[in-house]
Amino acid sequence: MTGEAKLKIDSNYILGKVEPRVFGTLIEQLGRGVYGGLYDPDSKFSDGDGFRKDVLKLVKELGVTTVRWPGGNFVSGYRWEDGVGPKDERPRRLDLAWHSTETNQFGLHEMESWLKKAGNLELMEALNLGTRGLESALDLLEYANIPNGTKLSEERIANGAKTPFNIRLWCLGNEMDGKWQLGHLDATEYAKKVSKVAAGMRQLDPSLELIGCGSSNHGMETFGKWEDTLLNYAYDSIDLVSCHAYYHADPGELDTFLGSAVDMDRFIGEVISSIDAGKARAKSDHIVNISFDEWNVWYQGSEPSKTPEGIDNWPVAPHLLEDVYSVTDAVVVGDFLITLLKHADRVKAASIAQLVNVIGPIMAPEDGEAYRQTTFYPFAETAKYVKSGLVLKTVAKSPIIMNKKYGETDMVNSVTVKCEDGSLAIIMVNRSIDKSINFEVELSGCEVNNEIVEAKTLHDDDPLAKNTENNPNRVVLKDNNSVLIDTKSNILSINLPNDSWSIINIK
């Protein structure tokens, strides 16, 4: 069954500029995310520094720009000093967040080296505000960013990094509203701590960009009140407020799951309202935006997500959170990207969580070559075209789907971006579990010459189809040959299969 949806685009009206930082990722010392993912000196796939070359190749193809590290929940018990200096002198520690042993063989210097090899990516450094605070933050800042002449900057130089790391973007803790978080704080305690830590860090370097923890998810009982308290105490102290959100499909509920981006959209809108109210109360000219620095599909509670147990069971890099993603998971991930881009005026950073093995778009088997999960494709294609583009305002008309969890949802969600090279990218998702749709786009104000650079769709007759080590190319992007452009009327049409993600790039 085929329906019809329409979109009107005017290239003269701009919603916002896409910040490259929106295509960031999270890497945490969790499971095989680092050890066995990024770093595996014993692997035949690794280079002389122990970094997996096959993973580096796919990371470059994926198009990530920033890396939020070292967490995640892990950071709330992390001592950054453990990860610098001679490797044979680094201590082994128990990681309480994931009930594992941290060897500290991968630390700040290894991360900086990996970032360079991955394409000179930017580090979003996360600070431990769980068991630590201002003193530790200032020590790390001195170690990382001061060129020379102080105790800690000279230690960095002695450890092999003559040039400072110049980290600009800092997360002030992680999910501090969560009772699962080591050193959990209530809203007032956290807000006061942020104010003090931010003030101290800015005494050393006023140009730093600081991110305050917002609610860990949209469903937190304290959501809204948490943001209000943070902004009451620390509005002028921070530059961004973080959002985190994970979604998954319940058995037999793929149709409901396909509407998940509606919740993300509401979440963003409500946080924007809190920020703007905080600005009014503070009578401030300072602008605070959003860093959606954890988002993805994650099957929490499933077997791959179960952490080790037992007082004498603290494994090194166990298999944790290694979800294998389906076509529908990828469609939802693509919908999340559309939603983030539609808020380009306020969402200035974001991180898909995570990158490799641990709920990531890349899987790196221990004895096999790394491969792309289904979720790799919408992220890579979107980043390829719109990383520095301008999001255009549009008027959309779509059939409505009744979603039992999220209410009325548009069958088609889309975003249009004027790319840096002057071309136009239209990104679309069909949320219907069983209906295809004809999507008609009126390109008002655009001169179209009928040259289609690319029109691709991610879809499969089996919505649960997945890529695996034995069949890594089971699900791939395919050309969508249904695209037609009427150059006289400047109208484009495309058929969007049910449960699908698509992208068109036109001159």
List the catalytic residues. 175, 294
Three-class SS of 252-291: CCHHHHCCHHHHHHHHHHHHHHHHHHHHHHHCCCCCCEEE
Question: In this structure, what is the dihedral angle of CA atoms 425, 115, 213, 284, given to the nearest 10 degrees?
Answer: -70
Angle between helices 187-204 and 225-234 (to 10 degrees): 40
- Which amino acid, one-letter code, is at 311? I
Rounded distance between C-alpha atoms, residue 417 and residue 22, angstroms: 14
Angle between helices 134-145 and 151-158 (to 10 degrees): 50
Q: Which residues are within 8 A (CB) of 109 and not within 5 positions of it... i.e. 6 or more apart? A: 83, 84, 159, 160, 161
Rounded distance between C-alpha atoms, residue 292 and residue 307, angstroms: 25
- Of the candidates 177, 165, 2, the residue with the CA atom closest to the CA atom of residue 84: 165
Question: Are the beta carbons of 91 and 84 closer than 8 angstroms?
Answer: no
Q: Which residues are within 8 A (CB) of 420 and not within 5 positions of it... i.e. 6 or more apart? A: 387, 388, 389
Three-class SS of 456-496: EEECCCCCCCECCCCCCCCCCCEECCCCEEECCCCEEEEEE
- Of the candidates 213, 270, 203, the residue with the CA atom closest to the CA atom of residue 240: 213
DSSP assignment letter at 421: T
Q: Which residues are within 8 A (CB) of 444 and not within 5 positions of it... i.e. 6 or more apart? A: 8, 9, 10, 11, 490
Three-class SS of 46-105: ECCCCEEHHHHHHHHHHCCCEEEECCCHHHHHCCHHHHCCCHHHCCCEEECCCCEEECCC
Cα 77 to chain centroid distance, Å, stands at: 22
- Which amino acid, one-letter code, is at 370? A
Question: In this structure, what is the dihedral angle of CA atoms 291, 296, 299, 301, given to the nearest 10 degrees?
Answer: -10
Cα 251 to chain centroid distance, Å, stands at: 25
- Which amino acid, one-letter code, is at 338? I
- Of the candidates 66, 39, 118, 30, the residue with the CA atom closest to the CA atom of residue 387: 66
Question: Are the beta carbons of 377 and 383 closer than 8 angstroms?
Answer: no
